[in-house]
Protein backbone atom coordinates (compact mmCIF):
# COMPACT_ATOMS: atom_id res chain seq x y z
CA UNK A 1 0.00 0.00 0.00
CA UNK A 2 1.29 3.48 -0.87
CA UNK A 3 2.11 5.98 1.85
CA UNK A 4 -0.83 8.19 2.77
CA UNK A 5 0.19 11.78 2.04
CA UNK A 6 -0.82 14.70 4.24
CA UNK A 7 -2.47 16.28 1.18
CA UNK A 8 -4.88 13.38 0.61
CA UNK A 9 -5.71 13.26 4.34
CA UNK A 10 -6.44 17.01 4.21
CA UNK A 11 -8.64 16.57 1.13
CA UNK A 12 -10.63 13.77 2.77
CA UNK A 13 -11.02 15.86 5.91
CA UNK A 14 -12.34 18.82 3.88
CA UNK A 15 -14.76 16.60 1.96
CA UNK A 16 -16.17 14.78 4.99
CA UNK A 17 -15.60 17.02 8.03
CA UNK A 18 -14.17 13.99 9.87
CA UNK A 19 -11.23 14.19 12.25
CA UNK A 20 -7.64 13.93 11.01
CA UNK A 21 -6.96 10.56 12.65
CA UNK A 22 -10.26 9.11 11.38
CA UNK A 23 -9.38 10.25 7.83
CA UNK A 24 -5.90 8.76 8.05
CA UNK A 25 -7.30 5.45 9.33
CA UNK A 26 -9.98 5.37 6.60
CA UNK A 27 -7.37 5.94 3.87
CA UNK A 28 -5.11 3.28 5.36
CA UNK A 29 -8.05 0.85 5.51
CA UNK A 30 -8.99 1.49 1.86
CA UNK A 31 -5.50 1.59 0.34
CA UNK A 32 -5.60 5.34 -0.24
CA UNK A 33 -8.80 5.20 -2.35
CA UNK A 34 -10.60 8.52 -1.71
CA UNK A 35 -14.13 7.38 -2.65
CA UNK A 36 -13.87 4.14 -0.67
CA UNK A 37 -12.50 6.11 2.29
CA UNK A 38 -15.53 8.43 2.14
CA UNK A 39 -17.84 5.39 2.14
CA UNK A 40 -15.87 3.88 5.02
CA UNK A 41 -16.24 7.06 7.11
CA UNK A 42 -19.95 7.26 6.32
CA UNK A 43 -20.44 3.64 7.41
CA UNK A 44 -18.61 4.36 10.67
CA UNK A 45 -20.82 7.41 11.10
CA UNK A 46 -23.91 5.29 10.50
CA UNK A 47 -22.79 2.83 13.16
CA UNK A 48 -22.16 5.64 15.67
CA UNK A 49 -25.46 7.28 14.79
CA UNK A 50 -27.37 4.01 15.19
CA UNK A 51 -26.05 3.67 18.75
CA UNK A 52 -27.09 7.25 19.58
CA UNK A 53 -30.52 7.04 17.91
CA UNK A 54 -32.06 5.30 20.93
CA UNK A 55 -31.10 8.17 23.24
CA UNK A 56 -33.72 10.77 24.10
CA UNK A 57 -33.44 14.08 22.26
CA UNK A 58 -35.61 16.44 24.27
CA UNK A 59 -33.70 19.72 23.97
CA UNK A 60 -33.11 21.73 20.81
CA UNK A 61 -34.48 24.75 18.99
CA UNK A 62 -37.19 26.02 16.67
CA UNK A 63 -35.86 27.22 13.31
CA UNK A 64 -37.51 29.27 10.60
CA UNK A 65 -36.77 30.23 7.05
CA UNK A 66 -38.65 32.68 4.84
CA UNK A 67 -37.82 32.89 1.14
CA UNK A 68 -36.70 36.30 -0.19
CA UNK A 69 -40.09 36.79 -1.90
CA UNK A 70 -41.79 36.56 1.54
CA UNK A 71 -44.43 34.24 0.06
CA UNK A 72 -43.15 30.86 1.29
CA UNK A 73 -41.40 29.70 4.44
CA UNK A 74 -41.02 26.93 6.99
CA UNK A 75 -40.88 26.25 10.72
CA UNK A 76 -38.90 23.31 12.09
CA UNK A 77 -38.40 21.76 15.51
CA UNK A 78 -34.93 20.18 15.64
CA UNK A 79 -34.06 18.31 18.83
CA UNK A 80 -30.76 17.43 20.47
CA UNK A 81 -29.96 15.69 23.74
CA UNK A 82 -28.52 18.78 25.43
CA UNK A 83 -28.79 22.54 25.38
CA UNK A 84 -25.00 22.63 24.91
CA UNK A 85 -25.23 21.06 21.43
CA UNK A 86 -28.36 23.09 20.58
CA UNK A 87 -26.27 26.26 20.97
CA UNK A 88 -23.41 25.17 18.68
CA UNK A 89 -22.81 26.71 15.26
CA UNK A 90 -23.03 23.25 13.65
CA UNK A 91 -26.48 22.60 15.11
CA UNK A 92 -27.75 26.05 14.13
CA UNK A 93 -26.38 25.70 10.60
CA UNK A 94 -28.08 22.31 10.28
CA UNK A 95 -31.41 23.75 11.48
CA UNK A 96 -31.20 26.66 9.06
CA UNK A 97 -30.31 24.36 6.14
CA UNK A 98 -33.18 22.00 6.97
CA UNK A 99 -35.71 24.85 7.20
CA UNK A 100 -34.50 26.20 3.86
CA UNK A 101 -34.69 22.72 2.31
CA UNK A 102 -38.29 22.28 3.57
CA UNK A 103 -39.22 25.64 2.04
CA UNK A 104 -37.72 24.68 -1.33
CA UNK A 105 -38.54 20.95 -1.55
CA UNK A 106 -42.05 20.91 -0.02
CA UNK A 107 -42.01 17.54 1.81
CA UNK A 108 -45.43 16.33 2.91
CA UNK A 109 -44.28 13.78 5.52
CA UNK A 110 -41.24 13.28 7.73
CA UNK A 111 -40.59 9.59 6.93
CA UNK A 112 -42.18 6.84 4.80
CA UNK A 113 -43.89 5.32 7.87
CA UNK A 114 -45.86 8.59 8.23
CA UNK A 115 -47.56 8.24 4.83
CA UNK A 116 -51.19 7.15 5.39
CA UNK A 117 -51.99 3.76 3.86
CA UNK A 118 -54.87 5.22 1.83
CA UNK A 119 -52.42 7.69 0.17
CA UNK A 120 -50.11 4.80 -0.75
CA UNK A 121 -52.98 2.75 -2.13
CA UNK A 122 -54.14 5.71 -4.23
CA UNK A 123 -50.59 6.13 -5.63
CA UNK A 124 -50.33 2.40 -6.38
CA UNK A 125 -53.68 2.45 -8.20
CA UNK A 126 -52.60 5.45 -10.32
CA UNK A 127 -49.26 3.80 -11.18
CA UNK A 128 -50.96 0.49 -12.01
CA UNK A 129 -53.37 2.19 -14.42
CA UNK A 130 -50.54 4.18 -16.07
CA UNK A 131 -48.49 1.00 -16.56
CA UNK A 132 -51.45 -0.91 -17.96
CA UNK A 133 -52.13 1.97 -20.37
CA UNK A 134 -48.46 1.79 -21.45
CA UNK A 135 -48.84 -1.93 -22.14
CA UNK A 136 -46.39 -3.13 -19.48
CA UNK A 137 -46.53 -6.90 -18.80
CA UNK A 138 -48.89 -7.74 -15.92
CA UNK A 139 -46.37 -10.03 -14.20
CA UNK A 140 -43.90 -7.11 -13.80
CA UNK A 141 -46.35 -4.48 -12.54
CA UNK A 142 -45.84 -5.03 -8.80
CA UNK A 143 -42.05 -4.69 -9.05
CA UNK A 144 -42.30 -1.52 -11.17
CA UNK A 145 -44.91 -0.05 -8.81
CA UNK A 146 -42.70 -0.62 -5.76
CA UNK A 147 -39.89 1.22 -7.57
CA UNK A 148 -42.27 4.10 -8.21
CA UNK A 149 -43.34 4.09 -4.54
CA UNK A 150 -39.67 4.44 -3.52
CA UNK A 151 -39.47 7.43 -5.88
CA UNK A 152 -42.68 8.80 -4.31
CA UNK A 153 -40.99 8.63 -0.87
CA UNK A 154 -37.99 10.54 -2.27
CA UNK A 155 -40.23 13.40 -3.36
CA UNK A 156 -42.67 13.52 -0.44
CA UNK A 157 -40.79 12.31 2.69
CA UNK A 158 -38.29 14.77 4.15
CA UNK A 159 -35.78 12.18 5.38
CA UNK A 160 -35.73 10.45 1.96
CA UNK A 161 -35.48 13.63 -0.12
CA UNK A 162 -32.20 14.45 -1.88
CA UNK A 163 -30.63 17.47 -0.18
CA UNK A 164 -31.16 20.61 -2.31
CA UNK A 165 -27.46 21.55 -2.07
CA UNK A 166 -26.11 18.06 -2.81
CA UNK A 167 -28.34 15.62 -4.68
CA UNK A 168 -26.06 12.70 -3.77
CA UNK A 169 -27.02 13.10 -0.09
CA UNK A 170 -30.41 12.50 1.43
CA UNK A 171 -31.66 14.56 4.37
CA UNK A 172 -31.26 11.49 6.56
CA UNK A 173 -27.55 11.43 5.57
CA UNK A 174 -27.23 15.02 6.83
CA UNK A 175 -28.68 13.95 10.18
CA UNK A 176 -26.43 10.89 10.43
CA UNK A 177 -23.36 13.00 9.63
CA UNK A 178 -24.42 15.58 12.24
CA UNK A 179 -24.96 12.89 14.90
CA UNK A 180 -21.51 11.46 14.18
CA UNK A 181 -19.86 14.91 14.36
CA UNK A 182 -21.75 16.33 17.36
CA UNK A 183 -21.84 13.13 19.38
CA UNK A 184 -25.54 13.39 20.28
CA UNK A 185 -28.79 12.09 18.91
CA UNK A 186 -30.39 14.74 16.69
CA UNK A 187 -34.02 14.39 15.63
CA UNK A 188 -36.34 16.33 13.34
CA UNK A 189 -39.43 16.38 15.54
CA UNK A 190 -41.86 18.22 13.24
CA UNK A 191 -42.09 20.85 10.55
CA UNK A 192 -44.61 23.01 8.75
CA UNK A 193 -44.41 24.81 5.42
CA UNK A 194 -46.40 27.96 4.73
CA UNK A 195 -47.35 29.43 1.36
CA UNK A 196 -49.25 32.70 0.92
CA UNK A 197 -52.84 31.98 -0.12
CA UNK A 198 -52.79 28.24 0.66
Residue ranges of E strands in the chain? 59-66, 72-80, 162-163, 166-170, 187-195
**DSSP-assigned letter for residue 104:** H
pLDDT, tens digit (0-9, with 9 covering 90-100), for 93-113: 999 999 999 999 999 999 999
Closest CA relative to residue 109, chosen from 73, 160, 145, 149: 160
Rounded to whole angstroms, how far apart are CA atoms 157 and 160? Answer: 5
CB within 8 Å of 105: residues ≥ 6 apart: 158, 161, 164
The SS3 call for residue 109 is: strand
Rounded to whole angstroms, how far apart are CA atoms 155 and 162? Answer: 8
Decide: pTM greater than 0.85.
no
Low-confidence stretches of the chain (pLDDT beneath 70): 1-2, 16-19, 45-56
**Under CATH, which architecture does the 59-110+157-195 domain have?**
2-Layer Sandwich (3.30)
pLDDT value at residue 4: 81
What are the structural domain ranges in the chain?
6-52, 59-110+157-195, 117-147
Long-range contacts (CB closer than 8 Å, 24 or more residues apart) made by 118-125 = 120/149, 123/148, 123/149, 123/152, 124/149
The CATH number that domain 6-52 falls under is 1.10.8.10
Amino acid sequence: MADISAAIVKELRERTGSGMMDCKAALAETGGDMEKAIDYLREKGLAKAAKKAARAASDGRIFHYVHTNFKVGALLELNSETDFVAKTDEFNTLGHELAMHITAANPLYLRPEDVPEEDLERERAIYRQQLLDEGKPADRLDKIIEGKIRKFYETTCLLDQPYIRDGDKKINDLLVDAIAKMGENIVIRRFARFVIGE
